Amino acid sequence: MPPKRLVHAQDLRDAFPEEESCGVVERWATNLVSHVAKIAEQAGSQCASIQGTKYTCDNAEKVPEEVMSMLFNYQSACRRIYCDAEVIRTVISVRIPELKEEDNLGVAVQHAVLKMLEEIQNKTLGAGGAGGAGEKTSSVKAQAGVFSLREYFGARGAVEEKILGKPDDDKNNSKGGSKSPSVLLELRQVDVDALQKVELSALQLVTAMRSFVNAYALNWKKLIEPRSGGGRMVS
C-alpha cells in the first residue's frame, strides 16, 4: 500500500477525472468558440453603425443600451471561459507526476498546455502581453475582459460630464456644460472604442481557444498519463 501522502494524490486524481476536462474542451469546440466569434462579429457591425451616426447632446443623456449589452455578453462569456479553464487546469495539475531526471516529455507537455490555459485566462481578464516582474512574452495584450463594463462607464461618464456639466450643489441644475463639437465626437469615440476592444479581444480569444482545443485533442493522453506505464496509481 502506498504511503498516505500518495493516497491523497490519488484521491485528487479520482475526484477530478479526465471526463470533466474533456467535457469542457468539447463544449468549447462545439459551442463556446463559435459564440465568442459571433460576439466579435456583432461588435464589429455595431461599431461600424455607430461610426456613421451623428451624436448630439441627447446621446449623453441616454443609456447606451446596445453598447452595454455587447459588453455584458462578452463579460459573461469571459467569466464562463475563465471558470471552465480552472476545471481543465485542476484535472491536469493534479496529474503532474514526481519530478525525475528522465522521462519528462509528458510533464513538459502538461506545463506547455497549462501555459496556454494561463494565456486564455489572462485574455478573459483583459490582460496578457506585458508579463509581470520583468517577464517577457510574445502575446498581445487583450483590450477587453470581465471588467470592461465598469471601465466603460468610467470613461463615458467623464465625457458625459463635460457635455451635461457638473451638478450644482446649491441649485437643482447643472453648470458648465460644453458646446464643443469635439466633445460630442469624443463621446462617440468612447462608444466606438468600447466595441472595437470587444471585437479585437474576442478575435484574440477565439484564436487562443482554438489553439488550446487542438493541443488538448492531440496530447490528451500525455496530459492525463504524462509517463508511460503510469497506470492508475500515482507515478
Q: Is 99 helix (H, G, I), strand (E, B) or coil?
A: coil
CA 158 to chain centre: 26
According to DSSP, residue 29 is labeled I
Q: Which residues contact 25 (CB under 8 A, 6 or more apart)?
A: 88, 212, 213, 216, 217
Residues forming beta bridges with residue 166, ordered by sequence position: 175
Out of 3.40.50.2300, 3.90.420.10, 1.10.357.10, 1.20.120.180, select the CATH number for domain 4-224.
Answer: 1.20.120.180
Model confidence at 172, pLDDT cuts 50, 70, 90, reads low
DSSP H or E stretch at residue 175: strand 174-175
How far is Cα 65 from Cα 70, in angstroms, rounded to an integer? 9
Contact in structure between 164 and 174 (CB atoms under 8 Å): yes
So what's the pLDDT on residue 176? 60
Name the amino acid, one letter, at 58. Answer: D
Interval 127-159: pLDDT, tens: 865 444 334 455 678 899 999 999 999 999 999
- Residue 173 or residue 222, greater confidence: 222
| Residue boundaries of the structural domains of the chain | 4-224
To which residue does cell 463635460 refer?
A: 162
How far is Cα 199 from Cα 191, in angstroms, rounded to an integer? 13
Least confident among 5-9, 101-105, 205-209 = 101-105
Interval 40-79: pLDDT, tens: 999 999 999 999 999 999 999 998 999 999 999 999 999 9
CA quadruple 88, 148, 143, 62: dihedral sign: positive
Candidates 1, 4, 7; CA nearest to 234 is: 7
Interval 211-224: pLDDT, tens: 999 999 999 999 88
Interval 77-125: pLDDT, tens: 999 999 999 999 999 998 888 777 676 788 899 999 999 999 999 999 9
How far is Cα 65 from Cα 69, in angstroms, rounded to an integer? 6
According to DSSP, residue 32 is labeled I
Model confidence at 171, pLDDT cuts 50, 70, 90, reads low
